[in-house]
Structure 1
Amino acid sequence: MKRRVAILISGRGSNMAALLKAAAEADFPAEIAIVVSNRADAAGLAKARAAGAPTVVVESKPFGKDRAGFETALQAMLDTHGVELICLAGFMRLFTTEFVQRWYGKMLNIHPSLLPSFPGLDPHGQALRAGVKISGATVHFVIPETDAGPILMQGAVSVSDHDSADTLSERILEVEHRIYPDALRLLASGQVRLEGDVCKTIASAASGNFLISPVIDQAGG
């Protein structure tokens, strides 16, 4: 039985599109039960409808600072669609501790840095200012603290001296689109377990590949 997933968006929904594409495969262990946006003008809604996914808008603006009130409306929608797992995909709304705890171990987020480095806003700019040679993206379980929580999967890219925040963002976005569906596959198929603050993958093996940056020209004098 496929796990029923809600994707929550606020904007263009590029990671949502990657999840929808993966879920369309016959052997994928999850189905997208609903795409929820807290903004009626989110560009991702049209993408979701074009992909044949059901969509709904639960406007957050009328609730103002009443986060609990918004979450009550959102939870009712999730219950209506029998949602078991949540994937945040550019969802620009903070949750209360109570909502996060209710969905602990069942709600994922993706952040464009190798957490715990560079949480929060402007992660690409943070990475460039720090002068790191490798950056990437992280899929993690959601906890009350922002851009924290047990890490399920990460993917990395090299950082060039010529990178801007925009060029680095473009390459990391490709990594995001690859690892988010893979992370959901692991969760939906029961291949992960949480041990305190650490997420472990059942029967996982370390990759034999290295990513080293910068690469030295061995032929150079």
Structure 2
Amino acid sequence: MSHKRIVILISGSGSNMQTIVAASQAGKIAGEVVAVISNKASAAGLGKAQAAGIATAVLAHGDFASREDYDAALLQLVDSFHPDVVVLAGFMRILTSAFTQHYHGRMLNIHPSLLPKYKGVDTHNRALAAGDSEHGVSVHFVTEELDGGPVILQAKVPVFAEDTAADLQARVQVQEHGIYPLVVHWLCSGRLRLTAAGAELDGELLGPQGYAAD
């Protein structure tokens, strides 16, 4: 089984990026992270990637007149690394349809909510405001709809009465670091694919909440 080439896009600390790089370098992912790209030169994750021996690049969105212009340049930059898989790991940009279509079936995102709940931002505060008893994280294929692509895998965490948004974020992040490298491996190893009917794992169509362990 050939190793796939992975490009990761970040905007901040890169904690999920780190777990994917570590899993790849430990042989737990059937792929190699060949580049980490950020839209912010200040992203702390860039230094972490460099320390792990990964090539990095910065493409600042403020240097472009429009979202379309930025995404066209970003697509060229990403493609220069010849990726098989593109992973969004805290990349805080809404992508154009031209970009998402180019990587259709090859691009993953992680979102801190139990999709389809709480698409967009501020998910932890929204879960608290709604009085939810559980919260969580979803890994999904990226499509043109914001946070709307087929869910592959979710992890749930309890919500306690005394929780703050920071408490929830910390609890959710632990789960993020467990499930994201796993899904990246599924895609790199050929077990996971996006079809017209939705996400399939080992030839079985996944449900609306993704893979359900027995």
Spell out the pairing of 1:193-204 with structure 2 (5 A cutoff). 193-196=193-196, 198-202=198-202
Find the residue that maps to 2:157 and give its secondary structure: strand
Alpha-carbon separation, structure 2, partners of 1:58 and 1:83:
17
* Amino acid paired to 2:34: A
CA contact 2:10–2:36 (8 Å) conserved in 1: yes
Q: Deviations over 1:53-75 (max 9, x none)?
A: 111111211104x1222222222
| Counterpart in the other structure of 2:17 | 16
CA contact 1:111–1:138 (8 Å) conserved in 2: yes
Distance 1:13 1:90, change over 3 A: same
Find the residue that maps to 1:140 and give its secondary structure: strand
CA contact 1:113–1:138 (8 Å) conserved in 2: yes
Alpha-carbon separation, structure 1, partners of 2:188 and 2:114:
23
| Counterpart in the other structure of 1:52 | 53
| Counterpart in the other structure of 2:213 | 207
Q: TM-score, normalised by structure 1?
A: 0.88
CA contact 1:149–1:197 (8 Å) conserved in 2: no
CA contact 2:24–2:33 (8 Å) conserved in 1: yes
Q: Deviations over 1:85-140 (max 9, x none)?
A: 11011111221111111111111110011100111111111111111111110001
Find the residue that maps to 2:26 and give its secondary structure: coil
Alpha-carbon separation, structure 2, partners of 1:125 and 1:9:
22
Alpha-carbon separation, structure 2, partners of 1:206 and 1:144:
25
Alpha-carbon separation, structure 1, partners of 2:36 and 2:96:
21
Q: How much has 1:206 moved relative to structure 2?
A: 4.5
Q: Aligned residues, how many?
A: 207
Q: After the TM superposition, which parts of structure 1 deviate over 3 Å for at least 4 consecutive aligned residues?
A: 203-206
Alpha-carbon separation, structure 2, partners of 1:20 and 1:137:
20
| Counterpart in the other structure of 2:96 | 96
Q: How much has 1:83 moved relative to structure 2?
A: 1.1
* Amino acid paired to 1:173: Q
Q: TM-score, normalised by structure 2?
A: 0.91
| Counterpart in the other structure of 1:166 | 166
Find the residue that maps to 1:87 and give its secondary structure: strand
User: Which structure has the larger Rg?
Assistant: 1
Spell out the pairing of 1:151-190 with structure 2 (5 A cutoff). 151-190=151-190
Matched, 1:68 2:68: yes
Runs (5+) with no aligned partner, structure 2? 205-210
Question: Percent same amino acid among aligned pairs?
Answer: 42
Spell out the pairing of 1:108-127 with structure 2 (5 A cutoff). 108-127=108-127
| Counterpart in the other structure of 1:80 | 80
Distance 1:90 1:149, change over 3 A: same
Q: How much has 1:153 moved relative to structure 2?
A: 1.0
Find the residue that maps to 1:70 and give its secondary structure: helix
Distance 1:172 1:27, change over 3 A: closer
Find the residue that maps to 1:93 and give its secondary structure: coil
